[in-house]
Structure 1
């Protein structure tokens, strides 16, 4: 009887595996509303890439670039706090650069936190951009990040960017039960992910800046790998975050637009 029992168990295993596979496929198959979101992500991506280096049109992206720089520096500071560092200041400059000054901490954790942290934040925002209520929750999270950035800010540009975007999110929260907030959160998420990916390539492949986070990280690690190798490694992780954000959004939020609006009405004021 043992062979029959083994065969029956194997049949049950195959049936269970097929059910799991079908469920996974169903969860990742986009609904009509999700197809619209995927198209919007594609449009956002194309628009950002086209406008990125256009002499005049890129001004449109400047506030969002500064916001993503702020998230990059916040990530450095946040991990610095977790590793008992003293955060002296966060500064963003008009050339879309930034610096976080801290004392102490663990450089092997704080240095990669800028790129990886901001790309993770971007992926979370992309995921939440599939749902109105999730976008509201994400906007609270983003607002908290900006408030901490304001706390550490030491120049008026950093403060201005934080205050301006908090104001935009408050306004969109009230507009049409947060429908606009959903697309804003989605855009910021796509922008943050793309900015991280482009910045890594720009710093380490195209221009190879010697004082990049990756070059400093390579020195801390004893030059076991070059800064370019570390940069490629971070690039891959950031890309995985971006793709994961989209896939989790597809699997987690299947409600149509009307259902999302009804759910969002009961969340917040």
Structure 2
């Protein structure tokens, strides 16, 4: 007769749980390996990251050089429209009413609002435009994602156009932007659209940071979203400007990392996929 072996209750629970622990360990290991694989950068993504770096350098130079800075003027007006859209949409979402949006040829803009929560609507200009920039940067890693992003941007522009329908510069900026996006749909199965969406995304993200630094940290402009926020909720405009700049850069970094993780397709695969997703070509 075989001897009876008594196993303590705690030991029995560990033994019975062992297969589940092993499976959990294997699943965790697979998830770690998957995450590592997803964040590995392939050749197509290296090209995209290189283009982003080139955009950053080009925008930084054109932003500060006399005379040639006017090259960026149409895109500055475009991201200012994003800025004002951020104010407007958060005003509506927090129960307010948007009376109008207008853009200024001297690279400014204003949103006339009634009601809403100022604690949300005031930072929503800078943070909203930088969030849009991060989403466009994310979409810029893939042609089909850029197509979807351009449709969403078009919808945002139509809302902006509705609120700014009495301002000729707003109307002209929005129509020109929509025309550019539509035209890029028909170039090499929208491959050109990806680079335009990527540029607008980088520009929108950096505009928020540089505009905050330019107005609040370097020149210390008295009237700004951050100064009004500081007057109502405490702190200084420079402090809030730094905080919003850090958040904006964080948005941009998250957009890039998410783009690397979500779109591992090669350039050839992207072109192939694009030919079957709302196909267009001249």
Could you state the TM-score of these two structures normalised by the residue count of structure 1?
Answer: 0.94
Aligned to 1:185: 197
Task: Give the Å deviation of 1:122.
Answer: 0.3
- Residue 133 (str. 1) matches residue 135 (str. 2): no
Q: Equivalents in 1 of 2:29, 2:162: separation in Å?
A: 52
Q: Equivalents in 2 of 1:48, 1:27: separation in Å?
A: 30
Q: Equivalents in 2 of 1:131, 1:266: separation in Å?
A: 14
CA displacement, residues 92-117 of structure 1 (integer Å, 9 cap, x when unaligned)? 11111111011111111110110111
Could you state the TM-score of these two structures normalised by the residue count of structure 2?
Answer: 0.89
Partner of residue 170 from structure 1, selected from 179, 182, 205: 182
Partner of residue 243 from structure 1, selected from 249, 253, 274: 253
CA displacement, residues 45-98 of structure 1 (integer Å, 9 cap, x when unaligned)? 011001111112111111001100010001101111112222111111111111
Aligned to 2:3: none
Matches within 5 A, 1:209-224: 209-221=221-233, 223=234
Q: Equivalents in 2 of 1:66, 1:53: separation in Å?
A: 16
Partner of residue 104 from structure 1, selected from 107, 112, 115: 115
Q: Equivalents in 1 of 2:276, 2:30: separation in Å?
A: 35
Q: Equivalents in 2 of 1:234, 1:127: separation in Å?
A: 20
Q: Which runs of 5+ in 2 are unaligned?
A: 1-10
CA displacement, residues 188-209 of structure 1 (integer Å, 9 cap, x when unaligned)? 0000000001111112211122
Partner SS, residue 52 of structure 1: helix
Aligned to 2:207: 195
For the aligned residues, what is the CA RMSD?
1.7
Q: Equivalents in 2 of 1:51, 1:8: separation in Å?
A: 61
Partner of residue 38 from structure 1, selected from 44, 49, 57: 49
Q: Equivalents in 1 of 2:120, 2:161: separation in Å?
A: 23
- Residue 75 (str. 1) matches residue 77 (str. 2): no
Aligned to 1:26: 37
